[in-house]
Structure 1
Amino acid sequence: MKTGLAALGAALVLGLGAGMAQASEDMRVIRVTGEGRVAAAPDTATITMGVTEQADAAHAAMSQVSVSVAAILERLEEIGIAPEDVQTQRLTVNPVWSNRNYSEGEAEITGFVANNAISVRIRDLPSLGDVLDRILEEGGNDFSGLQFSVQDPEPLVNEARRAAVADARAKAELYAEAAGVSLGAVQRIEEMGGSPRPMMMEMAAASRGSSVPIAEGEVTVEASVNMVFLIAE
């Protein structure tokens, strides 16, 4: 029995010793976060706009909207916008109420508002202002947004990742130098926040010579990584 207890005690001591050694080894690392950012001029724009009309009856409001949207779609096809670059985003009919606060009797429906909004992807940026002009000419009166992007963001994404890793290594080297130790090999790399996505930066003033001035600005891609470096002996 004593022999068994002694063996168990020795095993526990060895296990604790190994665990403490591992913990000590884990502490001999430098953990840093690196960030990379790459900016580029956009080559694609997506606009979301449509038509809103009001009438006494729901079908009348939607009929007015449908006439204008049909004309817009026809004009977009005429100027070379591909069908796959046009998509309906919103189609609604809502009542218009009077006396909603019930201050003067019961609330009543006095009409209906219909809306049909479409998104249009423009791959030829110099034509963006003209596309907006054509939509407005055909009855577009509800503008919801304009977003710039790049058709192939992968090269920018990879460049941002490289910049993030370089930033992390530079930080680790600085910390190692300040601490008077030598930087060892990379132990772990972890990308943060999922895959990098392009986003808008501040826009610079620009005009395409149409009645609708456009500011393209830049698209930026950001990447972030956590890295763990060993401290060399």
Structure 2
Amino acid sequence: MNRRTFIGLAGASTATVATAGCLSAGLGSTGSQSEDVTLDDVENLNVETTDRNTIQVQGIGRVAAEPNSVTLSASIEAHDRDDASTVVEELATRSEQLIEDLTAYGIPEDSITTARYSLGEHSRRNRYEGEHRFSIEVDDPDNAGEVIDVAAGSEADQIGRVNFTVTGDKRDELYDEAVKRAVADAREEAELYAGAADVSLGDPVSIETTQRGVSPHAMSLSMTAGDAVGSAPPTELEQGQVSVSARATIEYGFDAGNGES
């Protein structure tokens, strides 16, 4: 596991001057920030400095779980039509029928959304074609196969990508657990470095969650309507597991054993 680790030794000041012109405090009556900053200038600022030993580490936490939601795509297509209006009318009529059949099965209408709509003229044949692609969200992953069969038995010409994921409270619970694991992982890493450096690890100075991610279990299907109707057996899908991850960056104080902390 790759991590970035930073160790700061005693004497780190809360005020840092890196290059000339970067100091915002007034250094003279002119108020210019473009003048060179000298050591006397810094000393005259009377800035209170804090000497502190710190070590910064990153930890990663991951949690895998069964999905509680699935999203799939279903497309209606029209090819080789005489004019654009014919394509638009056909897509509208067939889309209405698809939505009606899906809602009759039990999919809420607001869970059926347009993912893509295209209309164009074939450049070589002076013919028109179009596509209306829907994204269908299914609350129960066990029903994904049946939804595919309903769509294919209705008006869908193509069934495409299927994503199993986690949503709502379950997603939040998994993320909370991933954060806990990330923090524990960072602590373990800090203890490793502190032990190797022969110093005593102290309390956290700062904790920041720097990354959050959900990796759904995705399936790429290339199924036409004829593949899922007629004498074909019901569609069954392997759900797999969904991974939820978190990354935490933590800065710890440590005692170098020389009277400084």
Aligned equivalent of 2:210: 192
Quick check: 1:223 aligned with 2:254? Answer: no
Aligned equivalent of 1:129: 145
Matched residue of 1:72: which SS?
Answer: helix
Equivalents in 1 of 2:67, 2:43: separation in Å?
A: 63
* Cα distance, 1:191 vs structure 2: 1.3
Matched residue of 1:159: which SS?
Answer: helix
| Alpha-carbon distance change, 177 to 51 in structure 1, aligned in 2, over 3 angstroms | same
Equivalents in 2 of 1:81, 1:56: separation in Å?
A: 34
Taking only aligned residues, the RMSD between alpha carbons, in angstroms, comes to 2.4
Equivalents in 1 of 2:43, 2:114: separation in Å?
A: 68
Please report the TM-score for the alignment, with normalisation by the length of structure 2. Answer: 0.70
**Is the CA contact 1:85–1:121 (under 8 Å) kept in the aligned structure 2?**
yes
Higher relative contact order (CA 8 A, sep 6+): 1
- Between Structure 1 and Structure 2, how many residues are aligned? 201
Aligned equivalent of 1:40: 65
Aligned equivalent of 1:52: 77
Equivalents in 2 of 1:221, 1:191: separation in Å?
A: 14
Please report the TM-score for the alignment, with normalisation by the length of structure 1. Answer: 0.78
**Equivalent position to 2:116, from 74, 77, 90:** 90
Q: Which consecutive unaligned segments of at least 5 residues does structure 1 have?
A: 1-8, 99-108, 204-208
Aligned equivalent of 2:194: 176
Q: Structure 1 residues 223-232 or 144-153, which shifts more?
A: 144-153
Larger helix percent:
1
One-letter amino acid of the structure 1 residue matched with residue 202 of structure 2: G
* Cα distance, 1:72 vs structure 2: 1.0
**Is the CA contact 1:202–1:218 (under 8 Å) kept in the aligned structure 2?**
no
Percent of aligned positions that are identical: 26
**Equivalent position to 1:140, from 153, 156, 178:** 156
Cα deviation code 1:1-26 (max 9, x no counterpart): xxxxxxxx8x938959x64xx3xx34
| Alpha-carbon distance change, 12 to 48 in structure 1, aligned in 2, over 3 angstroms | same
Q: Which consecutive unaligned segments of at least 5 residues does structure 2 have?
A: 1-39, 220-231
Aligned equivalent of 1:66: 92
